Chains A and B, each alone.
Chain A
């Protein structure tokens, strides 16, 4: 039994073993990666690996295999390290050792002049948990895994979770967990008595992560969780900033890694190499490992989405199987959203389209498939937008609500900026992973003066919406980072920001107490229902989509026809929008291709929306 988890508990032994076998032929490195990949593939082995996201760091065994679901927030400079080195003991027996997946050399004096020394290169990424990840996504993805921590006997105790969910989720993993804790207790009971003592689960495990004075550089304010320095050994060019990854790697928390500031100052006088880094830079690049652990990557799985209810690589075959019952789910979701939007079914329709939108391609500078929705006519005084955001948060795996108050606009850092003193990318609220829902609450905006930062922030938001890109500020120049963020704007009148489509909210219900009404709507939904919606939204987004030649012809005909009557009514831009609406509408019904019917429906929908907007215009025009 104990051997089963050796590769999790002591992966370095595996690495060293393979290295020793290799007789210095370089392909041992590949073998190591292969070995772990194989192990992780076997019957859900990856779920046994403890997750940094959930288990507090002090429960994790140093140098064990852990996983971390994260977003690449910054990329540091590549570093050269001793891939292979030789040490001299006092007995002057020299030994050749492998330095890969380690931060510090072990044993004896390193012989720097050895012929066996091999210098290798690796890259460091600064990774943070996926920004704005919804509570439900965290709970679902970590609950069944965190309980089966083989290296410790830590059992997370979550008081936050509602009981219904507990009942739902726990039936199966509970049994698993029991077996697992038992087995781990057996295997480690003797070796780690100390850890057994610390078993008492803390009531507030998440707060333990963030007791730092160190700025962990999370994109969103109020985020919690560990940040991590991930050392990448292979193909680091394949990773991009803001990529979502699930990293499997060896945890390294040697306290010697952190540099104590005053000690440095004393020595820096004599050591000319040490002036290369400022104190700020030191703090960022060598933070205490108890706060920012190092993770030596063995294998990383890029995540297309972070919805834990779907398999991480959403294959079309899986999707089509799930989407069988799609029509009914869609109808239910539509009813639910209609209730939330106070009986406005058109707005609910557009909200669904918005939620499944996705930049699927770019044509030179033009992002295709984005669908920014401006929900105008939101009540100003009541906390309606707040509730609406909560509803969306319940549906999407990651989201963020940005209150566009003057204070926020003038003070918040939205665009990431390069800090050259600390040599890092200081994050901003617009550094978000793909398909994050950004909820811009314009009802919070009041009259007043925008200062330079405010103007810049508005421009950045405008660029984000129009081109789906954020120009990161590198002081001497700007760098463009494409993004894929679903932006929803709620406003009273038409938003000052551009949008792809504006729907004026027209409530048919007028509940006397809005709050009570909304919470009643929420409670009416069974939790399992939510999971269905979540799968639906993520699944519909990932579907393939085509337009047949026949339909293309029909659409062209239609366009010409529409323009014949009144060229003003239908511009090229309108056609753009109509094509996106048609696409999203088809996808939302689970159709892979545009049908004539779908096109007509899209047109009707648009006509309905436009007529409403125009009515609104004439209404408000008459007011003064």
Chain B
């Protein structure tokens, strides 16, 4: 029975499973109508693919065969199954029925004893070999599950548009009949809540239970909708088995069990056609015969059954049946990895329609059966390597990043937290000083800058995402952008590094090193496939995360310009090499900029200090200055803090690390499960705040607030509500948002000449007083020129000196130049070199 190349090696799991003999099944009658299905019979021994045996079950079978599972009632003749009969069954390569043909060991294990357990009096209770699965009960249970299970609280996208109070899966069956895609995805957690025992069986014996499910669902389907026409029989694809979430946690006990792991696709092989059935034709009499692939081998018929010629049968390739198969390499997600180790990889096989469903780079959750097979050293040796090759036969793919195109991956991320953890986080959230606690836990090695830390904390939480596409406004930005500017050496970079390390989808770039392409995306031709591939840059990669940009001021204008779109519309448009698309880049930007003159000049405005276009600056919700306060008390605390940093013991450091983990979880939990909405009271407070802000300026003829500032306030207030795990934005949130916003403005938008906060510094790049002054100078200059009478041309220096002599305020060369430019704009004069001409 053994063959050399691919031994029917049984699963190496510790539980040993006894097997029946396939030879017993040989003389099975074949019904002519059931061409393919019946062909399988000789191959698949009992535990596999029961639906394939369907017609067999109704015929006479050796009663001692383990195929006789099921209660007698399930084998009643005459049930209306015409629908199933008419629909071909498709082999489930994912269940590995072909290669996993069991072995016979007649000597050591008398079949009749261990195969069927006759149980207590009531009747025969048969279970599948080596398991405790009774097909009849299992089928019944599953049908009951399909008919009765409702998930009123389901938030999955798949269930969108379904009536959640009606049995969920019955609606899905209806959907199948409409769409015609004979695949039923079943959430394992649903089964678990419905029937824990069934769930356990599914996890432990997927190879046996899933075909039973198939059988059950097909019966049910064709009972309900006997007239439906499907391509093949419905296949059940369970997903979200809770067994394992992390690749690293896989161990020998998981072999042959249903598992779900998450990871990233790093490589996909080409399509591998796997022969399922070979077609032979006799060269002499043109007699055809089909041979099933048995454990990877084809038994070539030596003699033609029709004409008895020996060695006359030739394989006809294009009439043989193949199934698709693809090898996929999966690497564990970076988030799951312990520090200092390299990621693990796993081999995954996709079969049939799951082939080519994923691309390298995709983040996916896969559900499948974990397999292990021994390796031969050499085909001609009996020695084997004592190592097994492991792989996963995939049953279900679920892309995690695809969903990110539509919204946050709530389902995937929420489950990471245990109940205790959530309880702990909630307890923390209930504390009145949670906001202060969290902000002080943020980058503890950086001293003070409380407000900046608070701002960054709110940025980490983000606002609530709102969709106004229906009203034509598009998405409303929920991300908070922050700019830090200030003296070099005020640990801006350190803060950025910290944030980058804290958030799962963070990116860190330096303005100096990055190009527009590196930030956005570019199109590349794959050298192997000659396919155009879109490679995404830092901004797209940090979708739903934070993009930290250091040395923002060093960035080229070209590069900076791409940020305009990202920071307000949260999208990136690309038109390159025939690819035109818009990518989501819902990223918060945390940028740090140094002043142009290496030292912050308090006499200049923010814009003048960092020389960034105001159009970009106005897209930052908060702009903070990190300056050296130069105050003795501050110095003392700073010194204390720094010295403490250097002599604190290991334990204290350990404690802090714990804090960072809590902070991480806290943020992740709040981001996924808290979606605060404005309360009536908060809305009023916001309106008042905005009106107040506008009032401040209007007294002096300035506009001190724009709608953008209102939006910022709303975002900040929402983020603050998230910090409290509150589903409603209340007035305290608005208060804090106002305070923080004012604080940031006070730092960045104070007009150094007047000492007033002037938002126009940030929105137009110039304070209102400065603009007024500029106009005055221009007018004075004009008057001066007019007073000179009809002189078509003047010396530049002469004019400058005249103006200086005339004006009582000091006039700098810059101001003079600006005035000239203003007049030139009015078409009053032109400046050529050192002469000024009137027009």
Contact = CB atoms under 8 A, between A and B. Distances in A.
B498 A80 contact: no
Nearest to A99: B386
Contacts of B266: 420, 475-476
B494 interface: yes
B269 interface: yes
A381 interface: no
Interface in A255-288: 256-257, 263, 267, 270-273, 275-276
Interface in B609-650: 628, 630, 632, 635-636, 638-640, 642-647, 650
Interface residues of A, number: 86
B337 interface: yes
B575 to A, nearest CB: 24
A115 B636 CA distance: 72
B636 A361 contact: no
B332 to A, nearest CB: 10
Nearest to A476: B361
**Residue with the highest number of chain A CB atoms closer than 10 Å, among B7, B360, B374:** B374
Nearest to A126: B342
Contact of B386 (A82, A273, A547): A82
Nearest to A361: B653
A74 interface: yes
Contacts, number: 222
Contacts of A418: 342
**Residue with the highest number of chain A CB atoms closer than 10 Å, among B13, B372, B374, B639:** B639
Interface string A29-46: 000000000000000000
Contacts of A564: 632
Nearest to A425: B342
Interface in B300-325: 325
B361 A552 contact: no
A572 B636 CA distance: 11
Interface string A233-257: 0000101111000000000000011
Nearest to A123: B344
B341 A75 contact: yes
Given A363-B653, A560-B635, A572-B447, A477 B334 contact: yes
Interface stretch (B53-61, B388-396, B790-798): B388-396
A476 B264 contact: yes
**Residue with the highest number of chain A CB atoms closer than 10 Å, among B10, B251, B342, B443:** B342
Interface stretch (B71-79, B376-384, B803-811): B376-384
Nearest to B445: A363
B399 interface: no
Interface in A564-583: 564, 567, 571-573, 575-576, 579-580, 583
A576 B252 contact: no
Given A113-B16, A364-B501, A366-B494, A275 B272 contact: yes
Interface stretch (A9-17, A102-110, A164-172, A505-513): A102-110
Contacts of B426: none
B131 to A, nearest CB: 16
B428 interface: no
Contacts of B628: 567, 571
Interface in A439-492: 455, 459, 466-467, 474-477, 479-482
B345 A368 contact: no
A115 B18 CA distance: 9
Contacts of B497: 365, 467
Contact of A547 (B251, B269, B334, B647): B647
B296 A271 contact: yes
A141 interface: no
Nearest to B333: A477
Given A79-B388, A272-B272, A256 B639 contact: no
A77 interface: yes
B14 A117 contact: yes
Interface string A353-396: 00000000111111010000000000000000000000000000
Contact of B267 (A78, A256, A420): A420
A544 B100 CA distance: 60
A112 B337 CA distance: 34
Interface string B333-373: 01001111111111100000000000011000000000011
Interface string B242-269: 0000000011100100000000101101
A99 B387 CA distance: 9
Contacts of A48: none
B327 A364 contact: no
A575 B639 contact: yes
B771 interface: no
A423 interface: yes
A85 interface: yes
A525 interface: no
A118 interface: yes
Contacts of A476: 264, 266, 360-361
- What size tier do the contact residues of chain B reach? 35 or more
A575 B628 CA distance: 14
Given A110-B384, A272-B274, A476-B264, A119 B255 contact: yes
A185 interface: no
B660 interface: yes
Contacts of B344: 77-78
Given A117-B12, A364-B656, A579 B646 contact: yes
Given A81-B388, A420-B267, A479-B334, A572 B638 contact: yes
Given A77-B346, A481-B340, A365 B642 contact: no
A272 B379 CA distance: 14
Given A77-B346, A240-B340, A270-B5, A117 B489 contact: no
B630 A567 contact: yes
Interface string A531-567: 0000000000000011100001001101110011001
A583 B646 contact: yes
Interface string A72-108: 0011011111100100000000000001001111101
Contacts of B390: 79-80
A117 B374 CA distance: 12
Contacts of A81: 386-388
B645 A368 contact: yes
Contact of B252 (A121, A556, A563): A121
Contacts of A316: none
Contacts of A241: 340-342
Contacts of B334: 474, 477, 479
Contacts of B31: none
Contact of A77 (B274, B345, B630, B632): B345
A584 B643 CA distance: 15
Contacts of B13: 119
Contacts of A365: 443, 445, 494, 497-498, 501
Contact of A276 (B19, B250, B327): B327
B105 interface: yes
Contacts of B640: 552, 556
A423 B19 CA distance: 37
A275 B268 CA distance: 11
A362 B498 CA distance: 12
A112 B105 contact: no
A38 to B, nearest CB: 27
Nearest to A78: B344
B656 A363 contact: yes
A120 interface: yes
Given A112-B9, A276-B327, A267 B379 contact: yes
B103 interface: yes
Nearest to A77: B344
18 contacts: A78-B344, A80-B252, A102-B386, A110-B374, A113-B105, A119-B13, A273-B6, A273-B373, A364-B445, A366-B645, A425-B342, A459-B513, A466-B493, A476-B361, A477-B264, A482-B340, A545-B647, A579-B643
Given A256-B383, A365-B494, 9 more contacts: A113-B105, A237-B341, A361-B650, A418-B342, A423-B345, A425-B342, A474-B331, A480-B501, A560-B632
In the complex, the 4 A-B pairs of residues with the closest C-beta atoms, listed nearest first: A240-B340, A559-B639, A556-B639, A547-B647
